Amino acid sequence: MALSKWYNQVKIKIITGKKGSGKTTYLKSLRNSYDGIITICDSRERREYSFLLIERDKKISCCYFDKKMIFNSENFKIVNKYLQTIKSRDIIIDEIGWLELENKGLSSSLNYLLNRNIENLVLTMRFDSYKELIEKYHIKDYELIIL
């Protein structure tokens, strides 16, 4: 993957921690200043999750648990398109993880945004996978916040 000349100008902040450490809660405090997506839990007992599209204040289902985690691939396409059409230069992507390690999920948007002239990119990643993700996506200059 060739990185654009803008890559080094992107200010990347990586928020990491274990499940339940407050990553998404931290992002919610930034909501008024950023665009992008925040992953929200619709039901803990049924393990249903949605993406909240910040600018549109709209929820889109992303996954649920039924003996294994089931991902809604059509909604991931919608969310990827949304992320790649954002005009804001301050963007959040919540919950980059194992799907993106497998070039699935939000990987196309992450690649796109890392090569775009944006000012601030805030990413959340689980503590057990953030090093692999940083290496896979060639993220060199970043601020790491461990919760």
Per the DSSP assignment, residues forming a β-bridge with 15 are 124, 145
- Residue entry with tokens 């692999």: 132
- Radius of gyration of the chain from its Cα atoms, rounded to whole angstroms: 14
Per the DSSP assignment, residues forming a β-bridge with 126 are 17
Q: What is the pTM of this model?
A: 0.87
Beta carbons of 147 and 21 less than 8 angstroms apart: yes
Residues 11-32 pLDDT 10s: 899 999 998 899 999 999 988 8
Residue-range domains of the chain with CATH:
7-146 (3.40.50.300)
In this predicted structure, the answer to whether residue 91 has a pLDDT above a threshold of 80 is: yes
Question: DSSP character for 24?
Answer: H
Beta carbons of 61 and 53 less than 8 angstroms apart: no
Residues 49-71 pLDDT 10s: 999 999 888 999 999 988 898 99
Residue 25 host element (H or E): helix 23-30
pLDDT band at 3 (very low <50, low <70, confident <90, very high): very low
